[in-house]
């Protein structure tokens, strides 16, 4: 256009030149303020603001209203705005402020007095592209008496000369923002990659950074379990407790997170309650009100490995496109860090397994062929008439004969015939299991033998297989589980392993039941040892089922989970159906705990000796905790543990209810409950002896063999047996002396 043909319908060229001479700032808000003030003065409007348009997303952006720079730029869809008509028809359109985006209107009302009445939207066309570059909004433009046409001319004539400067400034701001975003992402990457050693810490840090980057109130992260087609979440709001959390699982195709995991698309939901995939039940439970959601996939290359879900944009009505861009850039780092953390954990576990295997190889001796031959050729008949009685105590048997009795019990049940188990293989397996136990005071081979023996008693006396309460395969798994349930026990509890950060804790703490999972791993190791696989003759499908059951039964010996499972087991009283596998499994888990605690069903002497062994382990652990600077629990502290009270609580809370339930299901087991109650009476009597001589120390009193005779003497007198003669050779009848 030639300079001589330029005409101004409304503007003063000198004023435009003066303004253009001041637009040297490389700061978009400052330039907008100058333009807003110029147009406000020229048009007589109450205030003016610019709305640059983003072509890629069809959004309008507002950063400044009049002279007020917004704390956070506003983005809103052009299609839902009153500005869209002006852009679409490429001419100025008069509207009313109430048609503006709600948040924009709120900011506008806070800027001017009185209330905005009129609004003129003037599109400014791009000089090279066939579209509008921005929209100029004049609020209350008619106060000076200028017409719509005049105001439109004032806008278009101004931007004829300053649009290039404005667009270049916006481009510069965008590049600067991209640079800051890259720097921020590098800082985030540095932070999250420093947490690769612990997946839980890493996920927590990812959530914290995601909330910071997008300014969200809450967030959660789901990892894809591709084997079961589930999304699994353990991290909520970027926080976890130090204890094992109960994970949340949802189907891969369920809800908002499931949709994102399935499609790989980002979901930016501005009104959560109006979205068909949103489930408001969680809000009802927690009392949290979800307004908007940004949910995005986390990828490893092209594969989706997880989903992050952010809730409630702070200082804004919803998440914008910039949040989406930040989230998708962030998700790349998330995917890389998570996969590296998983690989790192696998390497740690492999290293821990190697260390554990080396430790076991040093500790355990190999079972020789001669040992197997000696067991198979044992000359003794081991003919004990009451071996199958529920009241028989296997602790009375010689230690060296226990492997023989174990072999006899397996054969008595016919398991070697039913499952094609060679006697040599069974004998080698039993000897390997025996070698797998350490020489701890209580959790040793003798305890394992007692557990197997009680399983044998239950199977025989309750006719479990004969009456189809359990299948033959379940019978085999039951016996194997009892034999292996404490393999390589270290004489310490799960909590001690976790707090001490042992190799076992590193391997198994994420799943809980540290020692029980180690016992099962050792059982599998035994079965995989050459010449030891007694399950080798079982069809593949039954083999897998048997191993799964062995795992579940060994895990059932963790008393930390007992009360939760016991509630389900109590339901067997009213709904037990033998043909249902899940109910048979519940019953077997009940039996498994009963076998593990079976010493409590024997006479007082056995119960006292067992307590002596258990507290020897407990107090040793307590001493170690003290040297580590920790405070042991009462039952582990030799200076605080009052053993009779602890034993009575144990019997009342766990043992008697346990065997009581079994006796309700199987009346033949009533004698077990009576034995437990008798032992409770014994501890009540022992309480008087402990309180009288507490200065000697609880464990020393418990270890004194004279305690048995004194307790039994008092129990008999309490039961009304006259002229009881003291067994301590003092010669007195009805002697009251403790003799301890």
Catalytic residues: 443
687 marked among binding-site residues:
no
371 marked among binding-site residues:
no
26 marked among binding-site residues:
no
**How far is Cα of residue 586 from the mean position of the Cα atoms in its chain?**
24
Per the CB < 8 A criterion, the answer to whether 560 and 455 are in contact is: no
CA separation for the pair 216, 734 (Å, rounded): 78
- In angstroms, the first-to-last Cα distance of the chain is 119
499 marked among binding-site residues:
no
443 marked among binding-site residues:
yes
Structure tokens at 558: 């963790």
Three-state SS across 318-329?
Answer: CCCHHHHHHHHH
Cβ count within 10 A of residue 313? 21
Q: Which of 118, 125, 185, 184 is nearest to 151 (CA)?
A: 118
Structure tokens at 599: 């010493």
Within 366-444, where are the H helices? 369-376, 402-412, 415-418, 423-435
485 marked among binding-site residues:
yes
**How far is Cα of residue 349 from the mean position of the Cα atoms in its chain?**
19
Residue burial 119-128, b: 16+ Cβ < 10 Å; e: rest:
bbbbbbbeee
Per the CB < 8 A criterion, the answer to whether 306 and 280 are in contact is: no
CA separation for the pair 623, 640 (Å, rounded): 12
**How far is Cα of residue 426 from the mean position of the Cα atoms in its chain?**
39
The residue whose two tokens read 């040992």 is: 371
Q: Which of 308, 341, 338 is nearest to 231 (CA)?
A: 308
Whether the ω angle into residue 114 lies within 30 degrees of 0, i.e. cis, is: yes
CA separation for the pair 489, 484 (Å, rounded): 10
520 in helix, strand or coil? helix
CA separation for the pair 116, 100 (Å, rounded): 11
> Residues near 219 by Cβ (< 8 Å), separated by ≥ 6?
207, 210, 211, 236, 237, 238, 308, 309, 310, 311
CA separation for the pair 88, 626 (Å, rounded): 77
647 marked among binding-site residues:
yes
Structure tokens at 55: 């072509």
Binding residues for AMP: 443-447, 486, 596, 647
Binding residues for Zn(2+): 447, 485-486, 596
């Amino acid at each position: 256009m030639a300079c001589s043909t330029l005409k101004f319908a409304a503007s003063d060229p000198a004023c435009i030149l003066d303004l253009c001479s001041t637009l040297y700032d490389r700061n978009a808000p400052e330039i907008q303020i100058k333009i807003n003030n110029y147009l406000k003065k020229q048009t007589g409007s109450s205030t003016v603001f610019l709305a640059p348009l983003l072509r890629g997303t069809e959004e309008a952006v507002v950063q400044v209203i009049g002279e007020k720079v917004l704390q956070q730029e506003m983005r809103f869809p052009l299609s839902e705005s009153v500005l869209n008509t002006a852009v679409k028809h490429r001419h100025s359109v008069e509207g009313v402020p109430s048609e503006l985006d709600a948040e924009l209107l709120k900011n506008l009302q806070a800027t001017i007095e009185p209330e905005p009445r009129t609004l003129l939207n003037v599109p400014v066309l791009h000089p090279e592209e066939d579209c509008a570059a921005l929209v100029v909004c004049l609020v209350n433009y008619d106060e000076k008496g200028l017409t719509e046409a005049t105001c439109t001319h004032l806008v278009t004539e101004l931007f004829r000369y300053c649009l290039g400067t404005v667009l270049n400034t916006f481009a510069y701001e965008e590049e600067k923002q991209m640079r800051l975003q890259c720097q921020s992402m590098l800082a985030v990457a540095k932070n999250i990659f420093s947490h690769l050693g612990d997946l839980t810490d890493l996920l927590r840090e990812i959530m914290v950074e995601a909330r910071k980057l997008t300014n969200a109130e809450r967030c959660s992260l789901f990892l894809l379990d591709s084997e079961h087609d589930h999304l699994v979440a353990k991290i909520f709001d970027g926080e976890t407790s130090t204890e094992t959390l109960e994970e949340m699982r949802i189907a891969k195709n369920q809800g908002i997170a499931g949709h994102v995991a399935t499609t790989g698309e980002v979901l930016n939901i501005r009104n959560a309650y109006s979205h068909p995939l949103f489930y408001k039940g969680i809000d009802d439970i927690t009392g949290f009100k979800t307004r908007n959601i940004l949910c995005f996939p986390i990828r490893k290359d092209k594969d989706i490995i997880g989903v992050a879900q952010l809730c409630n944009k702070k200082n804004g009505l919803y998440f914008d496109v910039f949040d989406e861009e930040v989230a998708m850039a962030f998700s790349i780092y998330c995917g890389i860090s998570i996969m590296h953390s998983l690989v790192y954990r696998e390497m740690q576990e492999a290293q821990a397994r190697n260390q554990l295997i080396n430790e076991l190889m040093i500790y355990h001796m190999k079972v020789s062929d001669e040992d197997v031959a000696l067991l198979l050729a044992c000359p003794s008949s081991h003919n004990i008439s009451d071996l199958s009685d529920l009241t028989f105590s296997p602790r009375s048997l010689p230690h060296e004969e226990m492997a023989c009795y174990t072999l006899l019990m397996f054969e008595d049940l016919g398991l070697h015939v039913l499952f094609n188990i060679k006697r040599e293989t069974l004998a080698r397996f039993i000897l390997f299991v025996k070698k797998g136990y350490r020489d701890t005071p209580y959790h040793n081979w003798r305890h394992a033998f007692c557990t197997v023996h009680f399983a044998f008693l239950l199977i025989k006396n309750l006719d479990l297989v004969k009456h189809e309460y359990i299948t033959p395969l379940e019978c085999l798994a039951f016996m194997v589980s009892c034999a292996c349930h404490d393999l390589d026990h270290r004489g310490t509890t799960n909590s001690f392993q976790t707090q001490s950060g042992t190799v076992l804790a590193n391997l198994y703490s994420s799943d809980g039941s540290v020692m029980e999972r180690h016992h099962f791993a050792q059982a599998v190791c035994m079965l995989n040892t050459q010449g030891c696989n007694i399950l080798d003759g079982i069809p593949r499908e039954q083999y897998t089922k048997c191993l799964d059951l062995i795992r579940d039964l060994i895990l059932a010996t963790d008393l930390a989970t007992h009360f939760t499972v016991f509630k389900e087991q109590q339901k067997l009283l009213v709904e037990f159906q033998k043909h249902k596998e899940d109910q048979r499994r519940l019953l077997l888990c009940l039996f498994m705990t009963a076998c593990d605690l079976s010493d409590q069903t024997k006479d007082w002497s056995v119960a006292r000796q067992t307590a002596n062994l258990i507290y020897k382990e407990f107090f040793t652990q307590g001493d170690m905790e003290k040297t580590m600077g920790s405070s042991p629990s009462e039952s582990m502290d030799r200076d605080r543990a009052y053993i009779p009270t602890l034993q009575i609580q144990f019997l009342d809370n766990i043992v008697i209810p346990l065997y009581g339930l079994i006796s309700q299901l199987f009346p033949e087991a009533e004698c077990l409950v009576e034995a437990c109650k008798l032992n409770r009476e014994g501890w009540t009597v022992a309480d008087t002896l402990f309180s009288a001589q507490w200065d000697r120390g609880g464990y020393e009193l418990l270890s004194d063999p004279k305690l048995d005779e004194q307790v039994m003497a008092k129990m008999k007198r309490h039961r009304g047996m006259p002229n009881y003669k003291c067994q301590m050779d003092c010669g007195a009848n009805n002697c009251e002396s403790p003799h301890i």
